[in-house]
Amino acid sequence: MAELARKIERTAKKFLWSAIGLVSGRKSPLSLPMDFTSARSVLVIRPDRLGDVVLSTPVYESIKKTFPHLRVSALVDRANVSILADNPYIDEIISFDSENPGAVLGKLRRNRFDVVFTLNKKFSATASLIALASKTKYRVGYAHDKTDWLYDVRLSADTPPRHESLNNLELLRHAGITQIVEPPRLYFNENETQKIETVLGESRQHPDRPLVLIKPGTRVAEWGWKLDNFRKVAEQLSNSQKAEVLFICGPGEEAIIDSLSGGTQIKIGRLPILSIKELALTIKKSDLLFCNHTGIMHLASAVQTPVVAIFKHGET
C-alpha cells in the first residue's frame, strides 16, 4: 500500500510539473560557457539532507575562486544551516523551512539573484519550486523530463551513477566555472574548538590511544547494521587496548546507546549530544569513524578522517 501511495504521488508530481511547464513555456538554452562578468549574485539551492549539504561545499569555493566578485548565497534546510557557518566562500546562508515556504520565497524574489544553481541530479519538487519562484534571471540545473523547461542551462541527468559531489561539480563545469575544487570542507570557530577540547578531555580515559568513534544509530532502522554487531566491534577494539572507543549518541538515540553500553563486558564511554558542527569537529580530532550509511560519514570525508561505513541500501 505504501509503495502504491508513493507511485501515485510521483505520478501526480510529474503531471503537475508538466502542466506548469506548458503554461510557463520552454526556455531557450543559453550559449556556453555562461558570461558571469555582468552577474552580481548567485544562489545555490540544496534543501535536502545533511550529507548532500556537506558534499555541496566545493561548489561555493569553486564559484568564488573562479569569479571572486560574485555574492554567493546558499539555501539549505533549516536543520543544516549550522554546518555551513564560518565558510569563507559563502556570503549568505538562507534557511528553508518546509512548514513555512512562503517566507523564504518572498525573500528570494526581493533579492533578485542573477544566477541560480539547482544541484539536485534526482528530481526534487522542492528545489524546482524554489528555483521557479525565485524569479532569478538565469537558472542552471539537471534536465529531468519534468522540469527541463525550467532551466536556461541544463545538463542531462541520464548519466551513469557517480558520487554526488562529482554531479555537483559537473554542473558547474558545464556552466563555465573553471577553477574547480573537489574536496568538501568544513570550517570551525574558536568557541567550537575550545568546547570540543573540553568534551574530549572529560570523555576520554586513554588519551594516549587512537580514538575510534562508533555511531550505531541511523535515520531508518532497517538500513542499519545490527546493534549487537556494533557492540562486538566496540568490545574487541577496547579489549585490544590498541584504541579507545567512544559511542556517538544522536538526539533520540539515548536508549540505543544505553542498551549497547549496558551489554558490553568492558565499560565504553559515550560523547554527549553535540550539534552537527561540533560533532564534525570531534570526528576531525578522532582517528576513525565507524557508522552506518548515514549523513555523518560525509562529515568524516569533509574533515579528512578515515571512515568505515556499513551499506545496506542505495547505490554502492
Secondary structure class of 132 (helix, strand, coil):
helix
Domain limits, the chain: 2-175, 190-310
Q: Over the stretch 199-237, which tens digit does the pLDDT of each residue have?
A: 999 999 999 999 999 999 887 777 789 999 999 999 999
pLDDT tens-digit profile, the chain (316 residues): 556 555 655 665 666 766 666 556 566 778 889 999 999 999 999 999 999 999 999 999 999 999 999 999 999 999 999 999 999 999 999 999 988 888 888 889 888 999 999 999 998 889 998 999 898 999 999 988 778 888 999 999 988 888 999 999 999 999 999 999 999 999 999 999 999 999 999 999 999 999 999 999 887 777 789 999 999 999 999 999 999 999 999 888 888 888 887 766 678 899 999 999 999 999 999 999 999 988 899 999 999 999 999 987 655 4
Yes or no: say if 111 and 41 are a contact pair by the CB < 8 Å rule.
Answer: yes
CATH code for the domain defined by 190-310: 3.40.50.2000
Query: What pTM does this model have?
Result: 0.88
Secondary structure class of 214 (helix, strand, coil):
strand
* Backbone Cα Rg of the chain: 22
Same fold? 2-175, 190-310: yes
Q: With CA atoms as reference, report the closest residue to 192 among 79, 299, 93, 86.
A: 86
Q: Cell numbers of 91, please?
A: 556570503
Q: Find the DSSP H helices in the chain.
A: 2-24, 50-55, 57-66, 101-111, 125-133, 164-175, 190-203, 227-240, 254-263, 276-284, 296-302
Assign domain 2-175 one CATH number from 3.10.310.30, 3.30.460.80, 3.40.50.2000, 1.20.1530.20: 3.40.50.2000
For residue 201, CA distances in Å to 78, 130, 278 come to: 31, 44, 15
